[in-house]
Structure 1
């Protein structure tokens, strides 16, 4: 029996974009949509805070990445990525239906369903990342990462804004069912993609595992590169909302900025980063964005220190910072995908993403604590300083990677 033909690039991009949109929809629902609706239902803030526990799943998905990857790889070059992705999305759809039917039930049931959706979506993420790494050559991965990051921004719109609007108009059940239908629709392009076989791995290839990944020089350098590249931006990002509120920005305006403004800036940055990676390659594009990030964060920190009463200037700089961060995600993901081993791409890339999630969590907590003691000006200045260090660090990391290859 002949192997199926490899799907075209546009079909792959559409399929991947749909899956990443569905995954981010679950994140937006958990992080923004559900807390807003629960508060409108007079649920206490301490209980609403428990919803964030579901997001810890994304930082811990490295714990089950290896068994997922072992099942996905199959034997004789046959891949089960599509089957795994569609099974995960089916779980999300069923959980959303149950979520709609659980209106008025105990809070623990709602929390359990959110954790189930997060588990399914995080597992899908492992398989879909590996799918992209295998299907896209190095010079095309910038396009794949546009679908990855762009889908993430679109999904946040559906999971937060659309859910809240549908709840206000039609109630909890209809809003949940609507999201279930959307996840189903977003999964259709992946269902139509026939996953082509690849060359089977050599019998001597190691079994996918976390330790196998961490033993590789490229993975350790990639983890360090991820943390260094994102640290300054994550620190500034965590303080953006509290700073603007304290600076006098109305909550309604902040909501619009985080919603439509943030998504527009994110999509613009995503397109820009994808174009850079496609035109110049991931390595040079990542370095270029790191230099742009120095400019944007130094300008933002300077405005915080010297012009904290100029709200329009500050808002504009935060929007630019959001766009540069999105471009950075695209270019860094394209670079990191190239470091993943063909024998376990899902495990390796998961390690990079979990390092990013843990860094974001640390910046969120540490930034708030630092700002409460040293003030916003010192904290944003630190974020700018950390970003200034990134270009030389990237140069050092790339030198060590090339040295490892040549030795």
Structure 2
């Protein structure tokens, strides 16, 4: 079956992308969300949890090898499809290696495994983003980014939420086996997928890295690359990293954390991402960045009672759902802007480059937030996150 048969219509294209985006987020969601709560419950200090965020930061550096993925690939099997056929089983193997580790006693090896999983997931993200840029027309990109973010949250529900419930009931190794099995699901779809012929990657690798540097010399893009996107992501992710540890410290069980933060929270986020994609198509990116950015600031401030240790179920759950909704909507708009500004011939490289600056700041903010919370406390750290998010809103007028 050819791609022209399977992805000829927009719904079929969206379905293909949704499957791929969901699978690549399973492993990273487990490391970023579930594992953080597991380790905190077992007494690991906040500062050491920050090392996990540093390990996951490698996914933000995918721009360094994105030109390699853009340049090399099999013409017979499909340029980006050939990468997917290798990366998907590699992620499964990386997860299976976790079954023999103890999450606390083997923390160093766990950090290495997190780094490898993040690198593989990021590499798949480059390939899938490039396929999306090639397959979709400009008016379809808002919906596609909604599906990308929604797919990430579906992966987060399974990797960050369901995995906590499984761990609480059946233990470590069975949980990892389920994650590995879910990660392998889209491989059959990739096998049936025939990538359409795109622009030939005839330029040398050195030329492509030169083009990457050229992206940062475009003055009209610098405010987006260096101010708007980094501030938005830093504010969002600094607060997001604290949610699990704050709930654990407030006495919530791991099952309760999983239900609220990932299953219910990410379920709401899926809807928020899809709706945001549709709103971007109607109202444009600038308006949506301001509206969703202000919602994000309000959502971060709504977490302050939890930061002070007050965590009644209903108000706390509502605050987390609001935060997840605003997070997903903001991420959808940010991705749409980056996709719109990507050059088709360098699709994977450009999109990854624009995501990298913000992502490096985001993961860095997550690590700093955990360290700062250990010394200055949760309330001061959350307030700083809200200030960063609001700075991003103020800078929206510079978006090209």
| TM-score > 0.5 by shorter chain | yes
Which residue among 231, 235, 245 is the counterpart of 1:232? 235
How many angstroms does 1:298 deviate by?
5.3
| Residue 346 (structure 1) aligned with residue 345 (structure 2) | no
In structure 2, relative to structure 1, the CA distance for the partners of 1:345 and 1:217 (3 Å cut) is farther
**Contact 1:265/1:319 (8 A) holds in 2:** yes
Q: Does 1:119 align with 2:122?
A: no
* Equivalent residue number for residue 394 of structure 2: 392
Alignment partners' CA distance in 1, 2:232 and 2:186: 31
Tell me the alpha carbon deviations over residues 120-174 of structure 1, each in whole angstroms, 9 at most, x when there is no partner: 2221111111111222222111211122111111112333444455567667665
Gaps of 5+ in 2: none
How far off its partner does 1:304 sit? 7.6
TM-score w.r.t. structure 2 length? 0.79
Larger relative contact order (Cα-Cα within 8 Å, sequence gap ≥ 6): 2
Partner residue in 2 for 1:405: none
Q: Match of 2:357, SS?
A: helix
Counterpart of 2:140?
140
Superposition CA RMSD, Å: 4.0
Name which of 364, 367, 383 aligns with 1:362.
Answer: 364
> Using a 3 Å threshold, how does the CA distance of structure 1 residues 264 and 167 change in structure 2: closer, same or farther?
closer
1:53 CA displacement: 6.0
TM-score by length of 1: 0.78
Gaps of 5+ in 1: 402-407
Where does 1:167-182 land on structure 2 (aligned, <5 Å)? 175-182=175-182
Q: Match of 1:404?
A: none
| Gap change, CA 1:309 and 1:238, over 3 Å in 2 | same
Matched, 1:260 2:263: yes
Give yes or no for contact 1:27–1:118 (8 Å, CA) kept in 2.
Answer: yes
Residue 279 (structure 1) aligned with residue 278 (structure 2): no
* Residue 331 (structure 1) aligned to one of 314, 333, 338: 333
Name the CA shift for 1:7/1:181 in 2 (closer, same or farther; >3 Å): farther
How many pairs are equivalent?
390
Within-5 A mapping of 1:239-318: 239-244=242-247, 248=250, 250-251=252-253, 253-297=256-300, 309=310, 311=312, 312-318=314-320
Query: 1:265-293 CA distances to partner (integer Å, 9 max, x unpaired)?
Result: 32232122122123223343223322333
Change over 3 Å in CA distance of 1:255–1:37 after alignment to 2: closer
Give yes or no for contact 2:146–2:275 (8 Å, CA) kept in 1.
no
